[in-house]
Amino acid sequence: MASFYFLLLVLVGGTTTAYGAELCTDFYSCSCPKLLPIVKKGVAKAIQKEPRMGASILRLHFHDCFVNGCDASILLDDTRNFIGEQTAAANNQSARGFNVINNIKASVEKECPKVVSCADILALAARDSVVYLGGPSWEVGLGRRDSTTASRIDANNSIPAPFLSLTALTNNFANQGLSVTDLVALSGAHTIGLAQCKNFRAHIYNDSNVDPSYRKFLQSKCPRSGNDNTLEPLDHQTPIHFDNLYFQNLVSKKALLHSDQELFNGSSTDKLVRKYAANTAAFFEDFAKGMVKMSNIKPLTGSKGQIRINCGKVN
Is 191 marked within a binding site? yes
Is 292 within 8 Å of 13 (Cβ atoms)?
yes
Is 73 marked within a binding site? yes
Is 69 marked within a binding site? yes
Q: How far is CA 25 from the centre of its chain?
A: 20
Is 67 marked within a binding site? yes
Q: What DSSP letter does each residue of 278-290 carry, written as one string?
A: H-HHHHHHHHHHH
Q: What type of residue is 145?
A: R
Is 243 marked within a binding site? yes
Is 235 marked within a binding site? yes
Is 160 marked within a binding site? yes
Q: Under 8 Å CB-to-CB from 70, ≥6 apart: which residues?
A: 61, 64, 119, 122, 123, 144, 294, 295, 296, 297, 298, 299
Q: Residue 107: count other Cβ atoms within 10 Å of its Cβ.
A: 16
Is 51 marked within a binding site? no
Strand pairing partners for 23? 19
CA distances from 64 to 103, 134, 313 (A): 18, 23, 15
Spatial distance between the Cα atoms of 137 and 280, rounded to a whole number of angstroms: 14
Task: State the catalytic residue, choosing from 63, 236, 241, 258.
Answer: 63
CA distances from 276 to 14, 175, 235, 249, 265 (A): 21, 24, 15, 11, 15
What is the separation, in whole angstroms, between the first and last Cα of the chain? 46
Is 71 marked within a binding site? yes
61 as an active site residue: the answer is no
Classify the C-alpha dihedral 306-310-313-315 as positive or negative: negative
Neighbour-count burial of 315, counting CB atoms closer than 10 A to its CB (0-12 exposed, 13-18 middle, 19+ buried): exposed
**Total residues found in the chain within this entry:** 315
Spatial distance between the Cα atoms of 293 and 310, rounded to a whole number of angstroms: 27
Binding residues, as ranges, are 64, 67, 69, 71, 73, 85, 160, 190-191, 235, 238, 243
Binding residues for substrate, as ranges, are 160
Residues with active-site annotation: 63
Binding residues for Ca(2+), as ranges, are 64, 67, 69, 71, 73, 85, 191, 235, 238, 243
Binding residues for heme b, as ranges, are 190
